[in-house]
Structure 1
Amino acid sequence: MLNVEEFSISTLNCLKKVTGDSPVILHEPEFSGNEWKYLKECLDTGFVSSVGKFVDRFEADLAAYTGSKYAVAVVNGTSALHIALKLAGVLPGDEVLIPSLTFVATANAVSYCGAIPHFVESESVHLGIDPLPLREYLKSITEIRNGQTINRETNRVIRAIVPMHTFGHPVLINEISAVAKDYHLALVEDAAESLGSYYYGKHTGTFGQFGVLSFNGNKTITTGGGGAILTQDENMAKHAKHITTTAKIPHRWEYVHDEIAYNYRMPNINAALGCAQLEQLPSFLESKRSLFKKYKEALETVSGVSLMEEPKNCKSNYWLQTLILSEDFQSARDSILKVTNDNGIMTRPCWRLLHTLSPFQNCPKMELPIALSLEQRLINIPSSPSLVS
């Protein structure tokens, strides 16, 4: 059995078979389509801000691609989640179930609503919320009163659940949806990382009352900064559009705003970039799948490390390729991170579990043994589609 140093070097050498010897970052955007053309049109016409045809087009293209009836473009994925939770009925003082194994934006958006994150367990196949222990946990700590789920330990309403599709891999969303239904919870999908991912042939972000996407610079497609709210409800879509554009009532010259709202609208110039990127999404996804196959082949010679593969009945976008260390080698995580980064291969651990961060240490949580184990065994490796071009 290899020691930690030998194991780390072996893993590095396997990655270099795919990445080569030149420095490589974790994920970079690829601009090889109509980006310059569409951006130039924005500059030539002067429509660079909140008005312009590309926002409408981007929303329509997103809806068509994902199979959602409506899409509302906003400035980033966090603002999309904030508005989705607000429209789903989350109120100050409510609790919202979220995984501890997620990016901090999930918990921040809950907090923006004045609500309290309630951290729940993940499972090791999909890396998302595990519905089985969650159901047993809710059975033990809650009761239903007047159609609301009440946490008996805090006497607060548990209002919603936010499953997050980790690194682009779909969670057990049908089973989570069943839990949400049985416990009267609004279901808001954090699909920020999973554009191009499907569960039983249905796109992520379209199972719940709302879904949210992100188009940050490191996502599968980018608008520079940006996000979107997906919904099947026309009235909710109209309300989302209204309150993300400062709730201004349309008028030729008057400034009348009929509710407290947010300046979350996506600028036309960002949407132009998104339209060009979305045209190339199929080729990006194909490249990412090819990259997965290359990594998998390269890593076959090293025992103790595997590559995260799309779960059964899922089609993953492989946004971030992910190493999973066996429990025997979890102590090698930091050594691998050091030796890869020292050699020009950018790697990153998964996020620190959110319940351990100072803003959230007093939030309610269930037992999290799997999440704690995954935190020590996951490493993201370079995932740009250009690595196979």
Structure 2
Amino acid sequence: MQKQLINLVRDIYSSNEFIPLHAPSFNGNEHAYLAETIDSTFVSSVGKFVDEFETKVQDFTNSNRAIATVNGTAALNTALNLADVRAGDLVLTQALTFVATCNALYHMGAKPVFIDIELNSFGLCPKAVSEWLYENAIVDNDGQCRHKQSDAAIKAVMPMHTFGHPIQIDELLAICKEWNLTLIEDAAESLGSYYKGKHTGTLGRFGALSFNGNKVITTGGGGMLLCQHENDGVRAKHITTTAKVPHAYEFYHDEPGFNYRMPNLNAALGCAQMEQLEAKLMSKRAVAKRYEDYFEDSKFKFVKEPEYAHSNYWLNAVVCPDLDSRNHLLEATNAQGVMTRPVWQLMHRLPMFADSLSGSLVNSEWAEARLVNLPSSPL
């Protein structure tokens, strides 16, 4: 099977050379916009492309406000700050995620609580979230959700749309309403993905996108915070630009802020990439269909978008029958210059999160032992 899969990947990408997992492509106005930025001398955080890029992403996602940041982790950190998450607070999230989700918590002194995934989207399981809260949490007289044993405040739920596949948002929103929690979507991987017709990252109070080099579109490094309330957008722009109060010449900052601004150079790249986004998404779905057809009658199960969703298929994935077959697939493909990767090691296995609270992670552990990501670059 491994040899046939390698042949399929080489046929998809018409190449006998090394095939990466997800490579950026620059087929539009990237060079022109970068040259324009350099000629203007506005290469840092002030320049027309920052505003244009925010507007393009805001319009595409139908978000109330989009704030460009230096990376996706900065967007998450900003969302957590605006959600009043502070040192010592708890945030419910998934153990099967990229480490940036939890790093955003770690560096502000907040603590993750790891909840299991469900195996349809490989995202946070609403049933598991609800069960953990009923067993471990109360809402005090002030309306604050608290951990029964430690009395720590539980402030937010932060799921991730794994591989770009939208999770069960309605159910999580209902849970957040019941327990007075803020829903923050880690939508880093899901630009171009929709939950029941609405773009991911726009259903919770906040959503965070990433434009790293391996994403659907890239700014080299960069992120975007999506806000669904105008006042949140105004606050986000303020605190990410060092909380500087506008003035003709004075430097005055009215609160501790962050230097999370996206440089104009990166935004110029993003504007050019946004012009190609629809074509990239169509191409990626065509690649996914090739994989889906190939694995249809196989003991390996291709990961398809949930019935309620339209996915960008950021990273195509296959579920192997067991750990041994997963390892054989990884070894054979990488040895032949076709890059495949296992899913991330679960967060509770990492030393900095080993002491975190968690529920049962049986589905997460099952997926960790079986998932393999396949080359997924747009054609």
- Say which of 297, 315, 326 aligns to 1:333: 326
1:11 positional shift: 4.2
Q: Secondary structure at the match of 2:276?
A: helix
- State the Cα deviation string for residues 195-246 of structure 1 (Å, max 9, x = none): 0000000000001111110000000000110001101212211111111111
Aligned to 1:250: 246
How far apart are the structure 1 equivalents of 2:295 and 2:209? 31
Asked if residue 363 in structure 1 is aligned to residue 356 in structure 2, the reply is yes
Give the letter for the 1:72 counterpart: I
Task: Determine what percentage of the aligned residue pairs are the same residue.
Answer: 50
CA deviation vs aligned residue, 1:344-367 (integer Å, no higher than 9, x gap): 000111100001100000010001
CA contact (8 A) 1:245 1:263 kept: yes
Confirm or deny that 1:115 pairs with 2:113: no
Q: Does 1:63 align with 2:58?
A: yes
List 4+ stretches of structure 1 deviating above 6 A.
none
User: Equivalent residues in 2 for 1:164-243 (5 A)?
Assistant: 164-243=160-239
Between the aligned partners of 2:16 and 2:47, the Cα distance in structure 1 is 44
What residue number does 2:150 align with? Answer: 154
- Range that drifts further, 62-71 or 17-26: 17-26
Q: Which runs of 5+ in 1 are unaligned?
A: 1-6
The residue identity in structure 1 corresponding to 2:351 is S
Equivalent residue, structure 2, for 1:29? 24
Deviation readout 1:230-277 (Å, 9 max, x if unpaired):
012122111111111111111222221111111110011110110110
Deviation at 1:138, TM superposition (A): 1.1
Q: CA offset at residue 88 of structure 1?
A: 0.8
- Matched residue SS, 1:156: coil
The count of corresponding residues between Structure 1 and Structure 2 is 377
**CA–CA separation in structure 2 for the residues paired with 1:14 and 1:277:** 28
User: Residues 257-296 of structure 1 correspond to what in structure 2 (within 5 A)?
Assistant: 257-296=253-292
* Secondary structure at 2:355 match in 1: coil
Question: Within the alignment, does 1:126 sit opposite 2:116 as a pair?
Answer: no
Partner-residue secondary structure (3-state), 1:212: strand
Alignment partners' CA distance in 2, 1:16 and 1:273: 29
Q: Secondary structure at the residue paired with 1:374?
A: helix
Q: What SS does the corresponding residue of 1:274 show, helix, strand or coil? A: helix
Distance 2:200 2:259 in 1: 26
Give the drift of 1:136: 1.6
- Partners of 1:167 and 1:320 within 8 A in 2: yes
Q: Deviations over 1:272-329 (max 9, x none)?
A: 110110111000000000001112223335x221211111010000111111113xx3
Partner of 1:323: 318
Helix, strand or coil at the partner of 1:385: coil
Q: Contact 1:15 / 1:298 at 8 angstroms: preserved in 2?
A: no
Instruction: State the shift of 1:17 in Å.
Output: 4.3
- Structure 2 counterpart of 1:3: none
Secondary structure of 2:16 counterpart? coil
CA contact (8 A) 1:14 1:299 kept: no
What is the CA distance between 1:154 and its match in structure 2?
A: 2.2
Q: What is the rounded CA distance, in whole Å, between the counterparts of 2:135 and 2:353 in structure 1? A: 23
Contact 1:288 1:317 in 2 (8 A): yes
1:378 and 1:26 mapped to 2: Cα distance? Answer: 14
Q: Matched residues in 2 for 1:110 and 1:127: separation?
A: 21
**Aligned 8 A contact 1:305 1:324 in 2:** yes
* Structure 2 counterpart of 1:74, one-letter code: T
- Alpha-carbon contact 1:12-1:336 (below 8 Å) kept: no
For the residues of structure 1 that align with 2:3 and 2:264, how far apart are their CA atoms?
47
* Contact 1:209/1:232 (8 A) holds in 2: yes
Task: Report the Cα offset of residue 9 of structure 1.
Answer: 4.2
CA RMSD of aligned residues (A): 1.3
Unaligned residue ranges in structure 2 (runs of 5+): none
Q: 1:17 to 1:36 in 2, by over 3 A?
A: closer
Letter of the 1:185 counterpart? L
3-state SS of paired residue (1:150): strand
Aligned twin of 1:18: 12
Cα separation, 2, equivalents of 1:263 and 1:282: 31
Q: Using a 3 Å threshold, how does the CA distance of structure 1 residues 39 and 16 change in structure 2: closer, same or farther?
A: closer
TM-score normalised to structure 1 length: 0.94
| Displacement of 1:330 | 3.1
Give the structure 2 partner of residue 314 of structure 1.
309
Q: Tell me which amino acid in the other structure corresponds to 2:109.
A: G
